[in-house]
Amino acid sequence: MTASLVTLGAVGPGTTTRTLICIPHAGGSVVAFRGWVRAAAAAGLAVRAVHWADAAGANGRRPSIESRADALAAELRDLPEPWVLLGHSLGALIAAETARRIEEQVSGSAPERVVLCAAAPPGYPRGFPPGVLTASDTGMTQYVRRLGGTPEEILSDPEFGPQLLTRLRNDLDLIERYEPAFPRPLSSPVSVYGGASDGSVPVEVLDGWRAFAPQSRVRVFPGNHFFLHDSPADVCREVAADCARTGQDRLGR
C-alpha cells in the first residue's frame, strides 16, 4: 500500500500560501479535484490530490482505511508546511485516521488544519444502504445515480463505467470493515463541512465529530453529498478563513 501526491494545475511561485492535500470519496480519484485549481489558487491554496496504490502486502491482507492512513502519514511526514488535509466522505475518515497517526509521531510535518467533508463520525451508521456491496452492476449504477456527483457519460461508458463500479465496491468495503479506535481526541484543529440536503450524511450527525475533535468548527453548505465539488470556491474560501483562525483552536487555549 502506497500513497502519492499528485499536483494539480501549474501554480506560479509566491501565488499560494499553503498546500491543500485532498483525499477523494469512495470510487473517486485525483480527477475529482481537477476542477479546484483556479478556485483554490484564488484562496491562496495549491491543490495536491492523493493517489492510492492498493496492492496487497506480502501478508496478503486487503487494503483498509487504517493501511491507507499509515501510507499517507508516511508520505506527508516531510511535506513543507503549511498544509491542510481535506477528505471527502471515505476520504474524511482516512484524513482523521491520518491526523491521529501524525499526532503520534515524535517529529515531522503536521497539518495546519484537518477538513472533514460529507462524513458521519466513526461509530455512526454507514451512509450506504444494506446490500449495495453485493448488488449487480445495474443496482450499483442506480445507487450511484441516486447519490449524484458522477457524470452520466462516465457511468454509461463501456470502459470507465465498470472501472468506476469496481473501485466503488472496493472503497465501500473499506468502510464496511472499518473499526475505528481513537484513544484520545485529535489535537489538530478540525473543520467539519456538510451538505444541507445530503441524504447519506444528515447535518444532525456532524456535531458527533466533536467527540473526536472537541473544538471542531461545523459548517453546512447548500447541496448534497457532493456539495464541495458543486461550489469549490466557497469551500476553499472557508478553508482559508478557518486557517486564519487556527491559532485559536489548539486544544488547551
**CB of 73 within 8 A of CB of 104?**
no
Between vectors from CA 33 to CA 30 and to CA 37, what angle results, nearest 5°?
125
Residue with cell 465529530: 209
**CB of 239 within 8 A of CB of 43?**
yes
Cα–Cα separations (whole angstroms), residue 49 to 9, 12, 21, 116, 143: 11, 18, 6, 15, 25
**Cα atoms in the 13 Å half-sphere on the side-chain side of 48:** 18
Cα–Cα separations (whole angstroms), residue 110 to 37, 78, 86, 98, 187: 23, 9, 13, 10, 11
Per DSSP, 193 falls in state: E
Between vectors from CA 152 to CA 147 and to CA 154, what angle results, nearest 5°?
105
Which is nearest to 182 in space by CA: 99, 70, 113, 100?
100
The residue annotated as part of the active site, out of 67, 89, 191, 216, is: 89
Residue with cell 483552536: 249
Residue 185: how many CB atoms within 10 A of its CB? 17
Residue 89 is a catalytic residue: yes
Residues β-bridged to residue 87? 23, 116
Give the catalytic positions in this structure. Answer: 89
